[in-house]
Amino acid sequence: MKKAHFIGLLFLYVIASILLVATTPIAPHEAKVYIGGEGIVSILMHWGEQIIPGFLGLRLFFLLFAFISLAIFYVLSRHYFRQQKDAYLATTLFMFLPGILTATALANVGIIVLALVLLFLLLYEKGYYGVLPFVMLALFFVHEASIIFFIALFFYSLSSKEKWLGILSLAFLIAFIYLSKGIEIGGRPTGHFIEIFGLYAAVFSPLLFLYFFYTMYRILLREEKHLMWYISFTALVTSLILSLRQKVYITDFAPYVMISTIVMVDIYMRSLRVRLPQFQKTYKRAFYIVIALLVFSSLTIVTHQLSYQMTQNPKKHFAHRIYEPYILVQKLKAEGKKCYDAKGRRALQLQYYGIPSCTNRNEH
């Protein structure tokens, strides 16, 4: 990929991200965290609104984390690839992943975790080992599901025989157990195994996820195993195993798998370049098909507001739970109503817009 093309696509990503952040109404999980949360996400949401009122302020810090993640990802890509055009390609694929666009547009802990994991990888590759414990400590407090990350580090330390990394990761794992933190495990065999594949397909786009799965398997069998692979593979396998018995929250695992966009591009480019030009056509055609589906998936996220307005059955639209309360509020305010009875997170969304429950106000 040429530098000019990369800069143009980067500009589109920045504009699309800002528009998504500024125009997308508050999501159910955002309302829950904003009103009832006490963690870092809730704190940053309130700080952002004090700086810039409205949706943009609500997600201001998370937008900044998304841009920081992208910058770190590019620098990390330059470390992995000899040719700069490969780094451009990997970074472009990364920033237009549906999972990245969604994480950029909504306030969530995943984008913070992603930035910290990428920072850890970059510092590790650059040899700044003294800073790594502080990044690990930040991950420990920010994300309970980061136990996945520390398990991956421990396995990698055993493979690479890096005792200091093994001791550090083991110490954090013990802390997780002592404090009873981490991913909740329970339930009984259910049908969530197929569901998790659908969630990963939504994060990557369907064909790109298949290639991600193939890449993880190929490296397991015959390729050199870097720390990045250990993190993504551990997250993938853990999520698949847990899905046999319980519902899996993709936000707990997505930050650890999306970093392997670098690995996917590396495997593809090496497979392409070892072949003579006349035998590269099949690989290039497959690449174009994958990219076409990725573009379609990304456009679905970027144009979701327009598609919601145009759909004949809004209840079946994936953004219905975001827009329905927002439209309802506009209607209630136009009618002069100051309260409305709703349940669950929908009630919290209405509360964010200044429409409390009538029952709580003793109004009917």
Neighbours of 128 (CB within 10 A): 11
pLDDT at residue 334 in the model: 86
Distance separating alpha carbons of residues 260 and 60, to the nearest angstrom = 26
pLDDT of residue 363: 47
**Nearest-angstrom CA–CA distance, 262 and 26:** 32
**What's the chain's average pLDDT?**
89
Q: What is the pLDDT of residue 345?
A: 84
- pLDDT score for 155: 94
Q: What is the pLDDT of residues 284-316, one digit of tens each?
A: 898 999 999 999 999 999 998 888 888 888 888
Tokens 């990350």, residue?
Answer: 149
What is the spatial distance between Cα 66 and Cα 10, in angstroms, rounded to a whole number? 13
Calculate mean pLDDT across residues 142-167: 91
pLDDT score, position 104? 92
pLDDT reported for residue 190: 61
Top mean pLDDT of 130-144, 171-185, 262-276, 326-340 is at 130-144
User: Does 192 score more than 80 pLDDT?
Assistant: no
Closest to 233 (Cα-Cα) out of 353, 151, 170, 316: 151
Distance between CA atoms of residues 219 and 223, nearest Å: 4
Listed residue (104, 168, 159, 163) closest to 136, CA to CA:
168
Q: What is the dihedral of CA 1, 258, 48, 30, to 10 degrees?
A: 130
Q: Residue 310 is which amino acid?
A: M
Nearest of 61, 24, 22 to residue 44 by alpha carbon: 61
Long-range contacts of 340-347 (CB under 8 A, 24+ apart): 344/28, 345/28, 345/29, 345/31, 345/32, 345/321, 346/28, 346/321
User: Rounded distance, CA 317 to CA 282, Å?
Assistant: 36
In tens, the pLDDT along 243-257 reads 887 788 888 899 999
- Weakest mean pLDDT among 65-69, 102-106, 166-170, 189-193: 189-193
Q: Has this prediction a pTM greater than 0.85?
A: yes
Identify the pLDDT of residue 189: 56
Q: Cα–Cα distance between 136 and 148 in angstroms, integer?
A: 12
How far apart CA 164 and CA 13 sit, in angstroms, is 39
